[in-house]
Amino acid sequence: MTPQISELWVYLSASPLLGLTLTLLAYQGAWWLHQKSGFSPLANPVLIAVSVLVTLLLLTGTSYQTYFDGAQFVHFLLGPATVALAVPLYTQFRRVRAMLIPVIGGLVIGSITAAVSAVLVARLFGASLATQLSLAPKSVTTPIAMGVAERIGGIPSLTAVLVITTGILGAVGGRYVFNALRIHDPAIRGFATGVTAHGIGTARAFQESEQVGAFAALAMGMNGLMTALLLPLLLPWLL
């Protein structure tokens, strides 16, 4: 690099502007591709944006810490977004009352299945204890999952990655699983997606229909709460 360009690089790589702008650009590009693919679940915008950013950071030798100094402004919004979930939760509450028993059954069984199956399969395949604990809250939305991981002795930042991978897998696979099982009820499709694949599944569910999305949002909120309460109690039995 010529001195001028390298000076510019030194300045930019030390300021939060670059990480923030790159995050938004990568997401815009990923969204454009997602749209071009006809909203194919395989072209998941989170997966594409993360792949682009990881490649860029590796190629330029930029540390995650430097990147995150800028990207934290986006990351911070997860907190208020979690609080904001109360709004769809409230507006959908009447529809939920008609489905109260299936919703509660699906929530309790789904929440336990998500944590227990993740830990048991990981142990069966020889994962370390820290990895098993980081996997346990993988089906709940990132801010809750990271908080739970910290409480139970997992690695919060690893949990974040596992949560996002789970969300992408659930968003991609949901349609195929439900069709194979001949599950057509939009309330059930949405709720099961939200329990399994939190916000990324919910983003996907809103593309299927408003009702599917509403039930997914509801499931994400309820499962976040359920897992945060249940997992610390369940864990002694599991380990």
- 47-86 residues near another protein, rule: CB under 8 A: 49-50, 53-54, 57-58, 64, 67-68, 71-72, 74-75, 77-86
Binding to another protein by residue 185, rule CB under 8 A?
Answer: yes
Interaction pattern, residues 145-164, with another protein; x per rule: CB under 8 A = -xxx--x---x-xx-xxxxx
Residues within window 1-20 making contact with another protein, judged by CB under 8 A: none
Among the candidate windows 4-12, 35-43, 90-98, which touches another protein by CB under 8 A?
90-98
Residues within window 124-143 making contact with another protein, judged by CB under 8 A: 124-128, 131, 135, 138-139, 142-143
User: CA–CA separation, 26 vs 32, rounded Å?
Assistant: 10
Q: Give the DSSP per-residue string, 178-232.
A: HHHTT---HHHHHHHHHHHHHHHHHHHHHHH-HHHHHHHHHHHHHHHHHHHHHHH
Among the candidate windows 6-14, 35-43, 121-129, which touches another protein by CB under 8 A?
121-129
Contact assessment for residue 150 and residue 229, using Cβ atoms and an 8 Å cutoff: no
Residue 225 to residues 21, 145, 148, 220: CA-CA distances in angstroms?
A: 33, 10, 10, 9
- Name which of 23, 76, 10 is nearest 52 in CA terms: 23
Among the candidate windows 2-10, 35-43, 169-177, which touches another protein by CB under 8 A?
169-177
Among the candidate windows 9-17, 35-43, 181-189, which touches another protein by CB under 8 A?
181-189
Residue 156 to residues 5, 38, 47, 67, 144: CA-CA distances in angstroms?
A: 37, 34, 20, 18, 10
Q: How far is the CB of 3 from another protein (least distance, A)?
A: 29
Binding to another protein by residue 189, rule CB under 8 A?
Answer: yes
Q: How far is the CB of 32 from another protein (least distance, A)?
A: 13
| Residue in the block written with tokens 């991978």 | 165
